[in-house]
Amino acid sequence: MPTNSRPRQLGPALAAGIVFFASGAVLVLEILSLRLVAPYLGLTLQTSTAVIGFALGAIAAGAWVGGRIADRMAPQRLLGPILLAAGVLVLFVGPAVRWTGEQVRGGDVSAVLLMAALAVFVPAALLASVTPMVVKLRLATLLETGTVVGRLSGIATLGALVATFATGFLLVAALPTSVILLVLGTTLIALGVVLTILLRGIATIAGPLAVAVIGVVASVSAPAPCDVETAYHCARIVSDEGRTTGRTLHLDTLSHSYVDLADPTHLEFSYIRGMASVIDAVKTGPIRALHLGGGGLTVPRYLDSTRPGSENLVLEIDQGVVDLDVSELGLRLGEGIAVRVQDARVGLAEEPSSTRDVVVGDAFGGLTVPWHLTTRETVAGVRRVLVSDGVYLVNVIDYPPLRFARAEVATIAAVFPHVAILARPRVLRGEGGGNLVIVASNRPLGTAEIEVHLSRRAPELDLLADPSAVRGFIGDAQVLTDDFAPVDQLFTPYSQR
């Protein structure tokens, strides 16, 4: 029922500060939610879309419901408790996502939606309801409605912008996600307590504060899936129980690289042994290699060890991964291995033409190759930097019906005249999934020599090199371009095969 008493007003500075902070908190929460979800479901287009969609839905619902409530109840009675409740829920976001994530790790789209909803919706909706309530408290007369609404809406948008840039460029690089959420939640609680005392009295905060304390304890005790949070990944180093010097680098949901600290020639993963077999078959002596994506730098280490005098340039976007390689995985940067912290597509464009003997593509965002590294334009850039008999090797992951893998082979075959595929036989037959290594060159590949090396190092892999067989594998797959590359939609996760 509408109230007949005019709401108590807030001062203009305090009103602006509340709206600025509440709106900014929504965007901080949205960005951090992506990082919370990624270790369990990967950072795919579906994951990002779900989180953004729930955030926008929460903003719309919160603004709508908050406005209706402000017209029916005294906003000064609700504003403090809403901020306090939002702070408590922010503290529970990390525990809720991580405990749920342990159960749905690597799940399907429904799991993505569940995790996104847990991460964003309710606290964001509460925070979005703040602006219409503050507007109601600031309105002294209907004659200034446009001025008050416009000013506070602009301040809310400014808060969202500042929070977006500050979180993306500063906070994520400086602090773990759990710490940022803890600070954000406790700040909202403190603001809610102050406003509740100012507008309602001190006797009303005992219950909410008790819940807040429980939220802090839950936030601190939640399981941590990362050893290190980098700017892009949740990273863990796992020791190999069967090999004392073996280490596996996990980035989000992917076992990305295996490194033997004592023996860089030990190649644990089958697809890596396949790559090494191809390089050893088609190239002799020192080589100049460009690596699109770094991870644990297994291939650069191998080439540096087996081919003294080689030059390996690694384009790795994540400085945190490089730091982890140096501090935990024994990487020594020097003449043989150089790392440039840069997006691989940007770095590729900066490379001089006809300067690389080998280009290795092994970059992943979750389980898929970042879409802008899959397109015909990227492959053309690879061809440009290769010498006339250079070789391009790219690792992809897919599961039946292998729509992404077939599209990527089609894309590479549209640029290079000679293409082959390395994979387990059942993968090539479309009966299973996993890693596929696509090999391409301007010159014939020398498949007989490759097969000799494969038989010694990776006999579990088959080489599909006959042109008609490669065309059969491609089928009706469409070439990926910068204008059309729906990689996340083409990719089939293991859980959906």
- Per-residue pLDDT tens digits for 17-70: 999 999 999 999 999 888 787 767 766 777 788 889 999 999 999 999 999 998
Domain boundary among 224, 254, 269: 224
Instruction: List Cα–Cα distances, 484 to 297, 395, 402, 473, 476, in angstroms.
Output: 30, 21, 18, 21, 16
Kindly state the percentage of the chain with pLDDT values over 70.
Answer: 88
Task: Tell me what the pLDDT averaged over the chain comes to.
Answer: 87
H-type helices in 73-176, by residue range?
75-104, 109-128, 130-138, 145-166, 172-174
Structure tokens at 420: 């082959």
Alpha carbons within 13 angstroms on the beta-carbon side of residue 322 total 17
Domain check: are 240 and 220 in the same one?
no
Domain check: are 245 and 378 in the same one?
yes
Q: Which of 73-77, 229-233, 401-405 tops mean pLDDT? A: 401-405
Q: What is the pLDDT of residue 442?
A: 97
Domain check: are 173 and 67 in the same one?
yes
What range defines the domain where residue 383 resides? 234-496
Please tell me whether residue 475 adopts helix, strand or coil conformation. coil
H-type helices in 354-419, by residue range?
376-385, 403-413
Residues 6+ apart with CB under 8 A from 294: 300, 314, 315, 316, 318, 321, 322, 325, 339
Q: What is the pLDDT of residue 464?
A: 97
Confidence at 253, pLDDT banded by 50, 70, 90 = low
Average pLDDT of the residues in 307-330: 93
Q: Quick one: 210 exposed, middle or buried, by C-beta within 10 A (0-12, 13-18, 19+)? A: exposed
Q: What is the pLDDT of residue 80?
A: 87
Domain check: are 209 and 271 in the same one?
no
Q: What is the pLDDT of residue 48?
A: 83
Domain boundary among 224, 251, 266: 224
Domain check: are 354 and 325 in the same one?
yes
Domain check: are 61 and 90 in the same one?
yes
**Domain for residue 2, yes or no?**
no
Whether the per-residue pLDDT at 4 is higher than 50: the answer is no
Domain check: are 320 and 354 in the same one?
yes
**Domain for residue 229, yes or no?**
no
Q: Rounded to whole angstroms, how far apart are CA atoms 255 and 270?
A: 13
Domain boundary among 199, 224, 249: 224
**Domain for residue 386, yes or no?**
yes
CATH number where 16 lies: 1.20.1250.20
Q: What is the pLDDT of residue 160?
A: 94
Confidence at 436, pLDDT banded by 50, 70, 90 = very high
Number of domains into which the chain is organized: 2
**Domain for residue 66, yes or no?**
yes
**Domain for residue 121, yes or no?**
yes
Average pLDDT of the residues in 275-296: 95
Domain check: are 61 and 207 in the same one?
yes
Domain check: are 184 and 273 in the same one?
no
Structure tokens at 371: 């879409």
Please tell me whether residue 141 adopts helix, strand or coil conformation. coil
CATH number where 335 lies: 3.40.50.150
Looking at per-residue pLDDT, the higher value among 451 and 100 belongs to 451
Domain check: are 125 and 187 in the same one?
yes
Structure pTM?
Answer: 0.78
**Domain for residue 3, yes or no?**
no
Domain check: are 264 and 209 in the same one?
no
**Domain for residue 412, yes or no?**
yes
**Domain for residue 470, yes or no?**
yes
β-strand partners of 288: 311
Domain check: are 208 and 250 in the same one?
no
